[in-house]
Amino acid sequence: MSRVPETETSPEILEVAALVRRTLDGDGAAFGQIVVRYERRVLTLCIRLLGAVEDAQDAAQEVFLRAFKYIHRLDVQKPLEPWLMRVTINVCRDLGRKRLRRRITFPEMTDPDEAPAGESGNPYNGLAEEQQKQLLWKALQRLPDKERMAVILRDVEGLTTSEVAVILESSETTVRSQICRGRLRIKDAIDQMTGGQP
């Protein structure tokens, strides 16, 4: 899984910094390489924040349009990824304000013909796990924006608290508090949806 790099001298950061400088010098192909490098990560985060794939695709497109428009504001001494994740979060917030929030009744599921049947050939293997995922995503959608973003970045994306704080432009203490409250709300929401059954 791609992560916000912790060291500012890694080869990846130096390579991306070179692409940023070339973009700033007017090299459109360099920005195209940035898009190729980060499009999957941005789209995945958009899906996790917005829930609906169609909205996420629109948001991801807008992320790269904004990134290209405002890349001159980026401090080239700092890694691109945290800045790009902030742009992604801002675009998703804007999209969420403009459109009515869609409650996800049936999150996307794998085509049954493509789903692995498991060793026993039982098509119902993994059903309980899929139901748990659906409950989790429904619970996440109930969280206030800031808590949902903190929990997704920390628990789903696997970033450290300090990395989340950088992306959300917040203090680590605030992020820890948001994650703690978010986890408690998720537990309460799942308890409500399942009637307290495990």
Task: Give pLDDT tens digits for 18-46.
Answer: 999 999 999 889 999 999 999 999 999 99
* Residue ending a domain, choose from 100, 118, 140: 100
Reply yes or no on whether the pLDDT at 6 is more than 60.
no
Query: Residue 140 burial by CB count (10 A; 0-12/13-18/19+): exposed, middle or buried?
Result: buried
Structural domain range at position 152: 126-198
pTM: 0.67
How far, in whole angstroms, is CA 48 from its chain's centroid? 5
- Which amino acid is located at 131 in the chain? Q
Specify whether the CB–CB gap between 43 and 56 falls below 8 A.
yes
Is 106 a member of any domain? no
Evaluate whether residue 120 is within a structural domain.
no
At 36, which CATH number? 1.10.1740.10
- 107-126 pLDDT per residue, tens: 443 333 344 444 445 555 56
Same domain, 67 and 144: no
Q: Are residues 29 and 95 in the same domain?
A: yes
